[in-house]
């Protein structure tokens, strides 16, 4: 498919795509692959996402990726206070015309990330000073991993994150030790969140139609989540060790710390099996290692 044309795509429920094609063409808009602009148009699914998010009156929602505002409208209908962020100025202007007057909605034209390893100042400013907040969105594929990871380690992290992302990324976020897809993303998210895979969403529900499937996942903040400082220690430690994920931790830690004797002492103190492979370390192993003062040597 080229541009915003939807020929031979088949019918969709609830959203009149042809009328939006006219508006988008008039605005000179063509969906950007770089920005991951694939619009979810199925009303039933949009309402299901808002329902699955479990938000309502008194809740504060930050939506990343306003797009054409379809999910935005469903979130506002729950009674929650919604701040929706869109990086594309053309979409921001179109949606502002349609939804700008809705009570409880703030529309921001901004990027959600500042580079790959930090939340943007605009998103940080949207986080409420008091009370919990929730992240919801049909996320662009290119930013979904970094955004989830940075929100999880934020000073004021979201109580929940209900997001539609590429299925491969969803499997990585939900994978556990020993499963296909297990890696840094899943390990870091699951330190502080319970990750649930809610539903698979095929490409036919989007325009333009993506070549991959999407999944809706939900991350609920764990009541026993480690402190921000300990999570940061795990991030730094795992960054140092996971580049050699297939090797035994004794060898990798020994090379990083400058001696196998020092590594052996650290592993014994943390009660971590020295012959375990880095990718086989459990959450308890990472937390035990990261809580030791010796981890500073890995910075």
Residue 74: predicted pLDDT: 96
Last residue of a domain, one of 168, 192, 221: 221
Q: Looking at residue 11, what is its pLDDT?
A: 38
Express each pLDDT in 169-184 by its tens digit.
Answer: 999 999 999 998 999 9
Residue 14 is predicted with a pLDDT of 52
Whether 175 and 232 map to the same domain: the answer is no
CA 16 to chain centre: 29
Q: Are residues 26 and 145 in the same domain?
A: yes
CATH number at residue 206: 3.40.50.150
What integer pLDDT is reported at residue 158 of this predicted model? 98
Residues pairing with 218 in the sheet: 162, 196
pLDDT single digits (tens) 109-150: 999 999 988 999 999 999 999 899 999 999 988 899 999 999
Last residue of a domain, one of 200, 221, 242: 221
Residue 192 pLDDT grade (very low, low, confident, very high; cuts 50, 70, 90): very high
Beta-bridge partner residues of 85: 64, 108
Distances (CA, A) of 145 to 151, 170, 178, 246, 285: 10, 9, 20, 22, 23
Q: Are 24 and 93 in contact (CB under 8 A)?
A: no
How high is the pLDDT of residue 3? 38
The enclosing domain of 270 has a CATH number of 1.10.8
Percent of the chain's residues with pLDDT above 70: 93
Q: What is the reported pLDDT for 260?
A: 86
Q: Which run of H or of E encompasses 197?
A: strand 193-201
Which pLDDT score is estimated for 121? Answer: 98
Question: Is there a domain that residue 3 lies in?
Answer: no
Same domain, residue pair 242 and 292:
yes
The residues, any chain, with a CB within 8 Å of residue 296's CB and separated by 6 or more, are none
Q: What is the total count of domains within the chain?
A: 2
Q: Could you give the angle at the alpha carbon of 248 between the alpha carbons of 243 and 252, nearest 5°?
A: 50
What does the pLDDT look like over 241-284, one tens digit per residue? Answer: 999 999 999 999 999 888 889 899 999 999 999 999 999 999 99
Residue 77 pLDDT > 60, yes or no? yes
Terminal CA-CA length for the chain: 47
With a cut of 70, say whether residue 12 has pLDDT above it: no
Q: What is this structure's pTM? A: 0.90
């Amino acid at each position: 498919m080229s541009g915003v044309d939807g020929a031979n795509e088949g019918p969709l429920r609830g959203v009149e795509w042809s009328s939006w094609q006219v508006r988008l063409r008039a605005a000179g808009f063509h969906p950007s692959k770089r920005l991951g602009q694939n619009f979810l148009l199925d009303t039933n699914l949009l309402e299901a996402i808002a329902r699955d998010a479990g938000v309502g009156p008194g809740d504060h929602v930050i939506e990343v990726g306003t797009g054409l505002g379809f999910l935005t409208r469903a979130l506002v209908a729950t009674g929650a206070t919604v701040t929706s962020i869109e990086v594309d100025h053309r979409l921001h202007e179109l949606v502002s015309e349609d939804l700008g007057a809705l009570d409880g909605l703030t529309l921001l034209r901004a990027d959600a990330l500042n580079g790959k390893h930090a939340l943007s100042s605009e998103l940080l400013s949207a986080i409420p000073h008091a009370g919990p907040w929730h992240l919801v969105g049909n996320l662009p594929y290119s930013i979904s991993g970094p955004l989830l990871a940075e929100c999880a380690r934020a000073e004021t992290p979201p109580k929940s994150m209900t997001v539609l992302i590429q299925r491969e990324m969803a499997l990585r976020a939900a994978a556990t030790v020993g499963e296909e897809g297990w890696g840094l993303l899943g390990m870091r998210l699951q330190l502080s969140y319970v990750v649930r895979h809610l539903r698979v969403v095929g490409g036919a529900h989007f325009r333009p139609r993506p070549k991959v499937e999407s999944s809706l996942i939900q991350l609920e903040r764990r009541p026993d989540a480690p402190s921000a400082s300990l999570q940061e220690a795990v991030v730094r430690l795992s960054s140092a060790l996971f580049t050699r994920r297939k090797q035994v931790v004794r060898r990798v830690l020994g090379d990083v710390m400058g001696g196998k004797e020092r590594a052996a002492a650290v592993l014994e103190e943390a009660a971590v099996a020295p012959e375990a492979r880095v990718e086989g370390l459990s959450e308890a192993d990472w937390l035990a290692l990261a809580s030791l003062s010796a981890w500073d040597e890995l910075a």
